[in-house]
Amino acid sequence: MGMELFKHIRDEFPILSQKVHGKPLVYFDNAATTQKPLMVIQAIDNYYNTINSNVHRGVHHLSQLATDAYEQARVQVQKFINAQHAHEIIFTRGTTESINLLAHSFASEILSAGDEIIVSRMEHHSNIVPWQMACEKSGAILKVVPIYENGELDMEAYKQLFTEKTKLVSITHASNSLGTINPIKEIVDYAHSHQVPVLLDGAQGIKSCGMDVQEIDCDFYCFSGHKVYAPMGIGILYGKENWLDKLPPYQGGGEMIKHVSFEETTYNTLPFKFEAGTPHVEGAIGLQYALKFIEKYGHQHMIAHEKELLHYAENQMKIIEDIRFIGTAKEKTAVVSFLLGKHHPTDVGTIIDFMGIAVRTGHHCTQPLMDYLGIPGTIRASFAVYNTKSEIDTMVKALRTAQQMLN
């Protein structure tokens, strides 16, 4: 059923019909960024052709139209993750900026020396380094949830990490390197039983799992638009109203203030308190249309399609000699990370690039995870709604050829 629904979907992604090195492009680097459908590209085009203007500050017609469009985009995101209020959605540059925003605000208002933040071993650098910086500023320390060999979190160890000093849990919804989908409900419920708030890094989870922030009850959630068919440079931080009200602003400037004088400046209400300066209006509108695109096909259908591709790929690839899958959790996004014998991932990636196949190789910004696994990196194929089983067949063939060449 899934395959039938998506039969013509590639028509919506002109970039996919090109050739690379004379071969049809097989784009399997979706965990790094997805391609953009025409709906998104046209929405951006339309914005600049018809209503471009600075938002919030103008009384004139175009400024009002641009403001309405920007705020409608916020409402679209609110609905997509089922937030209670639109003002709980802060537009940012993406996951990285969202986490930096929160880490900055926590460091200046919540954390003091000796406090503890829980992260996991499978985090992306962007969910490690901002917290290390917050620790440096505040004297807090990081505690790390270990994982099992198969890439699943050690939940018993997680529970042992809590003390009365724990101030935040910041864990990924799904791992970009391994595909592991974490038990986020259990993570949140346990943290809340200790009155500890939770940030979930949704960079990978948003496309491959979806999110209902009220059901999961996380205190913060963030994702990047570009990994969910939207433009680069736009993303969001969701925060529960009571938390966002309590936290100080991240950057100062226009838009985020109520009144400025040299004696005293007061800050704007949510969400503007966290959106200093002219925002990425075109990006927000692009994100809105990417979410509309997902609605058009049905997110559950898309997720089912990705799962079908994942299972097909794992089955087809397991016959490749000397293949070693890295990350074999029970619950996985459409990510296959692997090694071919002793061959360096970069060599394999470079050879199959010449056959038109785009995969990612390296540590995937998860060096502590690679260190734990004792490998320099992996080859990672990650799928999206426009990928097909025949593309997977092409990759399997290419991998075998690469292996022969390297042997």
Consecutive H or E run containing 373: helix 367-373
Which range binds ligand PLP by CB under 6 A, 16-24, 75-83, 124-132, 310-318? 124-132
Interacting residue with ligand PLP among 170, 180, 204, 382 (CB under 6 A): 204
Compute CA distances 376 → 31, 364, 370, 373, whole Å: 19, 10, 6, 9
Query: Of 296, 293, 340, 342, which is closest to residue 320 (Cα–Cα)?
Result: 340
The answer to whether 280 contacts ligand PLP (rule: CB under 6 A) is no
CA dihedral 206, 212, 216, 221 (to 10 degrees): 50
Positions 216 through 255 that interact with ligand PLP (CB under 6 A)? 224
Q: 211 φ, ψ to 5°?
A: -150, 135
Contact criterion met (CB below 8 Å) for 179 and 333: yes
Q: 218 φ, ψ to 5°?
A: -65, 155
What is the smallest separation between the CB atom of 139 and ligand PLP, expressed in angstroms? 26
Alpha carbons 287 and 8: distance in angstroms, whole number: 22
- The smaller minimum CB distance to ligand PLP, of residues 204 and 403, is found at 204
What is the smallest separation between the CB atom of 204 and ligand PLP, expressed in angstroms? 5
State whether residue 213 is helix, strand or coil: helix
Contact partners, residue 326, CB within 8 Å, separation at least 6: 151, 177, 178, 337, 338, 339, 373, 375, 378
What is the smallest separation between the CB atom of 221 and ligand PLP, expressed in angstroms? 12
What mask of x and - would describe binding to ligand PLP in positions 40 to 79, judged by CB under 6 A? ----------------------------------------
State whether residue 340 is helix, strand or coil: strand
Clarify whether 135 is annotated catalytic.
Answer: no
DSSP state of 51: I
- The smaller minimum CB distance to ligand PLP, of residues 24 and 183, is found at 183
Query: Of 98, 217, 107, which is closest to residue 117 (Cα–Cα)?
Result: 107
Which range binds ligand PLP by CB under 6 A, 57-65, 89-97, 206-214, 378-386? 89-97
Query: Of 398, 105, 127, 407, which is closest to residue 145 (Cα–Cα)?
Result: 127
DSSP H stretches of helix in 209-277 = 213-216, 241-246
Which range binds ligand PLP by CB under 6 A, 12-20, 201-209, 333-341, 373-381? 201-209
Handedness of CA 326, 162, 208, 128 (dihedral sign): negative
- The smaller minimum CB distance to ligand PLP, of residues 96 and 337, is found at 96
Which range binds ligand PLP by CB under 6 A, 61-69, 119-127, 258-266, 384-392? 119-127
The answer to whether 176 contacts ligand PLP (rule: CB under 6 A) is yes
Interacting residue with ligand PLP among 184, 200, 203, 270 (CB under 6 A): 203
- The smaller minimum CB distance to ligand PLP, of residues 67 and 95, is found at 95
What mask of x and - would describe binding to ligand PLP in positions 90 to 109, judged by CB under 6 A? ----xxx-------------
Contact criterion met (CB below 8 Å) for 31 and 176: yes
- The smaller minimum CB distance to ligand PLP, of residues 203 and 399, is found at 203
- The smaller minimum CB distance to ligand PLP, of residues 177 and 268, is found at 177
Positions 362 through 401 that interact with ligand PLP (CB under 6 A)? none
Interacting residue with ligand PLP among 35, 76, 126, 180 (CB under 6 A): 126
What is the smallest separation between the CB atom of 401 and ligand PLP, expressed in angstroms? 29
The answer to whether 286 contacts ligand PLP (rule: CB under 6 A) is no
For residue 24, cis peptide bond before it (omega within 30 degrees of 0)? no
- The smaller minimum CB distance to ligand PLP, of residues 206 and 399, is found at 206
Alpha carbons 324 and 338: distance in angstroms, whole number: 5
Beta strand 116-120 with 89-92 is unpaired
Q: Which residues are at the interface with ligand PLP (CB under 6 A)?
A: 94-96, 124, 126-127, 172, 176, 201, 203-204, 224
**Active site (catalytic) residues:** 365
